[in-house]
Amino acid sequence: MVDYSDGYWWSPDGLRLHYRDYAGGHDGRPPLLCLPGLTRNARDFEPLAARLAGDWRLICPDMRGRAGSAQAKDPMTYVPLTYLQDISRLLADLAITRFVAVGTSLGGLITMLVAATHREWLAGALLNDVGPELDEAGLARIRTYVGVNQSHPSWVHAARALEEANRDVYPAYGLDQWLAMAKRLYRLNSAGRIVLDYDMRIAEPIRAMGSEAGVDMWPVMAAFRDIPTLLLRGERSDLLSAQTAQRMVADIGAKAELATIPDVGHAPALDEPESIAAIDRLLARVLHG
């Protein structure tokens, strides 16, 4: 595992939040701010850090209620706007004014909010299997498992449970890959059980909203037009349709690239050969235009 340092910061409403800081980028290149998906955490970016740390600095926060970050007092703060406020405080504390956003799913929605409010911060952006329009099939699937507590007697049991629930998403995975995913998504509790590493209450805002449409995010695509932007889409994704992805790239224009990752659903893990090649192309564009 690549070395990193643990860092902490305080949210505007007084929560102690955690991030991993992988050193790199000593030649002045912007850091990568890695924003995880809804039920995920900083550990999700271990494969990316293993490949890029040293050359690039990676800052990988745990959103409130996940892993090393404190749980919210009010579960209705588990929403993208609050996450943006938390991240803005982290950036201020670290005196970072320009970065490459790497946003998976929920992290991509936060990246869109950054583009809408502080586009000058973005030296580049990766939107991983998410867009301004999300398919109901994927949202319905997410509602079936978010906030449903699980407990397993061993890591292998947790890995097998992940496989059973997600084999359509990662059909080529073997046990080693399911185990690696389990160790990023679960933790060992004080009773010796393997449990999910997030506050089950993150589901409450999703349940409260139901199928109600949110804010129209399509106008935000224009904010990416002068920013090197990579859109990754899993070929089997049930959250981001091919049509939506193509429209996003058309709206962003010449600075955008769409890479479809074969035989993967929602969301690419960023370690697939096609993801690696596309990320390298994005970072080259960030450095050289």
CA 67 to chain CA mean position, Å: 14
Can you tell me the mean pLDDT for 268-287? Answer: 98
| pLDDT-based confidence at residue 99 (cuts at 50, 70, 90) | very high
Can you tell me the mean pLDDT for 231-244? Answer: 97
The pLDDT value recorded for residue 139 is 86
The pLDDT value recorded for residue 162 is 95
Residue 64, pLDDT > 60, answer yes
Architecture of the structural domain at 5-146+216-288: 3-Layer(aba) Sandwich (3.40)
| pLDDT-based confidence at residue 177 (cuts at 50, 70, 90) | very high
Mean residue pLDDT of the chain comes to 95
Cα–Cα distances in Å, from 268 out to 47, 172, 216, 222, 240?
A: 12, 12, 25, 24, 12
Cα–Cα distances in Å, from 127 out to 16, 95, 105, 174, 286?
A: 27, 24, 8, 26, 15
Can you tell me the mean pLDDT for 3-17? Answer: 98
Closest CA to 231 of 287, 263, 274, 289: 274
The whole-angstrom separation of Cα 289 and Cα 282 is 10
The whole-angstrom separation of Cα 51 and Cα 48 is 5
The structural domains of the chain, with segments of one domain joined by +, span 5-146+216-288
State if pTM tops 0.95: yes
Can you tell me the mean pLDDT for 72-97? Answer: 98
| pLDDT-based confidence at residue 144 (cuts at 50, 70, 90) | confident
- The pLDDT tens digits for 42-56 are 999 999 999 999 999
The whole-angstrom separation of Cα 106 and Cα 82 is 12
The pLDDT value recorded for residue 213 is 55
- The pLDDT tens digits for 187-219 are 999 999 999 999 999 999 988 876 555 678 999
